[in-house]
Chain A
Amino acid sequence: MSDLRELYLEMVTDHAKNPRHRGKANPCDCIGTGNNPLCGDKIVVTVQLQNRIIESVKFDGEGCAISTASADLMAEVLIGKSVEEAKKIFKMFHELVAGEGTSDNLPNKLAVFSGVREFPMRVKCATLAWHTVIAALDGVEDVTTE
Chain B
Amino acid sequence: MSNTQIIADSFPALHQTIGDKRLVYLDSAATTQKPQCVIDAITSYYEHDNANIHRGVHTLSMRATTAYENARQSVANLLQASRKEEIIFVRGATEAINLVAQAFARPILSVGDEILITEMEHHSNIVPWQLVCEQTGASLKVAKVNDDGSLNIDSFKELLTEDTTIVAFAHVSNAIGTINPIREMCALAREVGAISVVDGAQAVGHIPVSMSDVDCDFYATSGHKMFGPTGIGCLYGKHALLEEMEPWQGGGDMILSVSFEETTWNNVPFKFEAGTPNIAGAIGLGAAVKWIESFGYDTMIQQEQELLAYGRDVLRSIEGVTLIGASEHNAGVIAFTVAGVHPHDVGTILDHEGVAIRTGNHCAEPLMRRFNLSATCRASICVYNTRKDLDHLGSAVQEAIRMLG
Residues of A within 8 A of B (CB): 1, 4, 7-8, 13, 16-17, 37-42, 62-66, 68, 119, 121-122, 125
Residues 323 to 376 of chain B near chain A (Cβ within 8 Å):
340-345, 348-349, 352, 359-361, 365, 368, 373-375
Q: Is B241 an interface residue (CB 8 A)?
A: no
With A41-B344, A66-B344, A125-B344 given, can you name 16 additional A-B contacts, CB distance below 8 Å?
A4-B403, A8-B403, A13-B404, A17-B340, A38-B360, A39-B343, A39-B344, A39-B359, A39-B375, A40-B361, A40-B374, A41-B375, A62-B342, A65-B345, A65-B404, A68-B342
Q: Is B13 an interface residue (CB 8 A)?
A: no
A4 x B342 contact (CB < 8 A): no
Chain B residues near A66 (CB-CB < 8 A): 344-345
Number of interchain pairs (Cβ within 8 Å)? 56
Chain A residues near B359 (CB-CB < 8 A): 39
Cα of A10 to Cα of B105 in the assembled complex, Å: 56
Chain A residues near B373 (CB-CB < 8 A): 40
Task: Please tell me which one of the listed residues A4, A38, A41, A62 contacts residue B349 in the complex, with CB atoms under 8 A apart.
Answer: A4
Residues 188 to 230 of chain B near chain A (Cβ within 8 Å):
none
Cα of A4 to Cα of B19 in the assembled complex, Å: 12
Cα of A68 to Cα of B20 in the assembled complex, Å: 30
Residues 380 to 405 of chain B near chain A (Cβ within 8 Å):
403-404
The answer to whether residues A1 and B345 also contact, given A8-B403, A40-B368 and a CB cut-off of 8 A, is: no
B404 x A16 contact (CB < 8 A): yes
Chain A residues near B368 (CB-CB < 8 A): 40
Cα of A42 to Cα of B341 in the assembled complex, Å: 16
Identify the interface centre among A41, A62, A64: most chain B CB within 10 Å of its CB.
Answer: A64
Distance between B346 CB and nearest chain A CB, rounded to angstroms: 9
A1 x B20 contact (CB < 8 A): yes
Distance between B115 CB and nearest chain A CB, rounded to angstroms: 24
The chain B residue sitting closest to A5, CB to CB, is: B403
Pick the 4 closest A-B CB pairs, nearest first: A1-B19, A64-B342, A64-B344, A40-B374
The answer to whether residues A1 and B365 also contact, given A8-B404, A64-B344 and a CB cut-off of 8 A, is: no
Q: Is B18 an interface residue (CB 8 A)?
A: yes
